[in-house]
């Protein structure tokens, strides 16, 4: 029997392999529903720590999608104070016989699946008439969000951040609006997508118009969203561990929040929960990432080749 050698993709190859937004959204929807159905096999994250950073391992199996494991390092980036590098690989295996199918670059795969999940939550939970979208951040995750949103003719996209030069450069690259300030951009938005490396809130409840949706994928070192917003909003996440587990597995914003306040995005996608209930409700999707989403993205990358 002839066995094909494992697929090996570098950064550019992986980025290209997960570039189909429709296929990625479909696979992520399958994974999120499986999380809500508790049919995934995903053990708790583990990490080996050095004095300078960590090496984390996140294996997972999703029925119908596959078996994969991400091994990734998280270290401070000396070229970008306050930011971290995320370098590693995702290994995909045949769930029936255990053969290695592919080795993928974890950085672009993680960025793609994180942005696609955030935008899936936006399209699922935001008001149907939402048009003005603010992306907060200027790093890898913000760029991944903008790449998926900037060509949508129904949306007006604004980018905001702490560094005016980086905000201007991103706005010029994607031909979108640069914001004068984060506050001004949030006040004018129907939806806010937070993609920062902050250790303190970048959103204040007083800035939000009724009916605003927030997707938050950053804040590994602290909360992106203030406590008043969390207290007043309807809360959604990939898994209940976003509130039940301490950071970094869980979300800083959701510590101490009763798990019964958290609705799983997969339950909304499966039609078991209405999601948004009215036009004035503020909805928050807080993403912490999940190994099942890496499996979904790896499935898309391997099927395309």
Report the CATH number that the domain containing residue 238 is assigned in CATH.
3.40.50.720
Token pair for 87: 């370098």
Give the three-class secondary structure for 148.
Answer: helix
95 and 126 belong to one structural domain? no
With a cut of 90, say whether residue 299 has pLDDT above it.
Answer: yes
| Mean pLDDT estimate for the chain | 94
Using 50, 70 and 90 to split pLDDT, how confident is the model at 1?
very low
Report the CATH number that the domain containing residue 50 is assigned in CATH.
3.30.1780.10
154 and 217 belong to one structural domain? yes
100 and 132 belong to one structural domain? no
pLDDT digits (tens, 9 = 90+) for 124-149: 999 999 999 999 999 999 999 999 99
100 and 124 belong to one structural domain? no
> Mean pLDDT, to the nearest integer, of 181-197?
96
Q: Is 244 inside a domain boundary?
A: yes
Structural domain for 34, as ranges: 7-109+292-303
Overall number of domains in the chain? 2
More reliable by pLDDT, 281 or 220: 281
3-state helix vs strand vs coil in the chain, percent to 5: 35, 25, 40
The dihedral formed by the CA atoms of 69, 53, 139 and 106, expressed in degrees to the nearest 10: -20
98 and 215 belong to one structural domain? no
d(CA 277, CA 295): 31
**Which pairs from 160-166 meet CB under 8 Å and 24+ separation?**
160/134, 160/135, 160/136, 160/184, 160/185, 160/186, 161/136, 161/137, 161/196, 162/138, 163/138, 166/138
Q: Is 23 inside a domain boundary?
A: yes
281 and 297 belong to one structural domain? no
138 and 87 belong to one structural domain? no
pLDDT digits (tens, 9 = 90+) for 45-91: 888 999 999 999 999 999 999 999 999 998 888 877 766 788 999 99
| pTM of the complete model | 0.94
DSSP letter (8 states) at residue 254: G
239 and 127 belong to one structural domain? yes
């Amino acid at each position: 029997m002839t066995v094909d050698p494992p697929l090996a993709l570098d950064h550019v190859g992986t980025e290209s392999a997960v570039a189909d937004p429709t296929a990625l959204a479909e696979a992520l929807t399958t994974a999120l529903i499986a999380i809500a159905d508790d049919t995934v096999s995903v053990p708790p994250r583990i990490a080996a720590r050095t004095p300078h950073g960590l090496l984390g391992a996140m294996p997972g199996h999703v029925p119908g999608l596959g078996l994969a494991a991400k091994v990734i390092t998280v270290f401070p980036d000396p070229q970008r104070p306050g930011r971290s590098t995320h370098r590693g690989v995702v290994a995909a295996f045949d769930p029936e016989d255990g053969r290695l199918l592919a080795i993928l670059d974890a950085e672009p795969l993680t960025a793609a699946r994180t942005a696609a999940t955030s935008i899936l939550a936006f399209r699922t939970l935001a008001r149907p008439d939402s048009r003005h979208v603010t992306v907060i951040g200027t790093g890898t995750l913000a760029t991944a969000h903008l790449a998926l949103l900037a060509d949508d003719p129904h949306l007006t996209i604004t980018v905001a951040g702490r560094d005016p030069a980086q905000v201007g450069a991103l706005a010029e690259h994607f031909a979108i609006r640069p914001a004068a300030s984060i506050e001004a951009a949030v006040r004018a938005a129907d939806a806010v997508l937070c993609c920062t490396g902050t250790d303190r809130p970048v959103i204040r409840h007083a800035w939000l118009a009724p009916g605003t949706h927030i997707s938050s994928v950053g804040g590994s070192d602290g909360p992106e969203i203030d406590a008043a917003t969390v207290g007043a909003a309807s809360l959604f996440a990939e898994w209940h561990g976003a509130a039940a587990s301490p950071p970094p597995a869980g979300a800083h914003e959701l510590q101490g929040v009763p798990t019964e306040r958290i609705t799983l995005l997969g339950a909304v996608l499966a039609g078991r929960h209405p999601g948004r209930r009215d036009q004035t409700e503020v909805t928050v999707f807080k993403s912490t990432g999940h190994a099942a989403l890496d499996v979904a993205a790896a499935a898309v990358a391997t099927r395309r080749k």
